[in-house]
Structure 1
């Protein structure tokens, strides 16, 4: 677990648990929870029989390749409030690093989030496209029904027109027949 300081590593180059908690503004239980969760490095030294953290290891841990809140907001084009809302809603992962004692996100976490977000957006776009396609099919069916109804109306109109024309022709013939004076040819 912990090792003794190497040569050249004195007490001045390490931080005790109390100094570490004061530096990051956390209490002992929070420190141990973060260590257990893998969000904080384990003690890498033993000084006077107590765990200690070398300043070199902490500096390396604090300045990893990661993104601060400001960098995340700038990259995504959002403000701090939006980022806070996304974090609260679980839409964006929690910080997995600390840079200068402030929350930060590793490149891995941001990359995973972007991949998941892209998949979600793709699925959302597909859902929207499916919905548009269903609406298109429904509209197409309505148009077919209207065309069929229009065709039916045109067919009926032709039938009525034909009946009227036949009736008119018969009436005309009957009138002509009645107008003929059969007695005086």
Structure 2
């Protein structure tokens, strides 16, 4: 039997973290990412996630009646089956864990860095914690979610992750110069 391909995290060959004064880029664990589509409200979805063992996962709006459910833990087939059964008739669930990568951007210069790549207004008064948006950073489609006052999580298609990582590293160097660090 031929050797089966082994899973290798897409950003494994890069430095996992880039830190500087006021900024941190972090390759987040390739846990799970589920795409939920349907007429279920976020509160009801959160309740079903808890019952199915996804209590630590976050829910991010990904479009009209669409959510991403993201978490650090690898996807267990039993949990996915339980969630799919619980949402039957209300929403559809597709596993996107294999196709998308998450990158953390944090620190007091995080908004400055992201402003170099996107036109989204990331001021906390407009883009509050828990909010998410699909946008472009350069030529790459990305979901940006605010996870804290000065922290964001970027979700990108797996095939664009290395390119986005390099773009973020270059923008980070520029942001450090602009912030006077």
Fold match (TM-score > 0.5): no
Kindly indicate whether structure 1 or structure 2 has the higher relative contact order, using CA contacts under 8 Å at least 6 residues apart: 2
The structure where helix makes up a greater share of residues is 1
The structure where strand makes up a greater share of residues is 2
Calculate the TM-score normalised by the size of structure 1. 0.26
Calculate the TM-score normalised by the size of structure 2. 0.27
Structure ID, larger Rg? 1
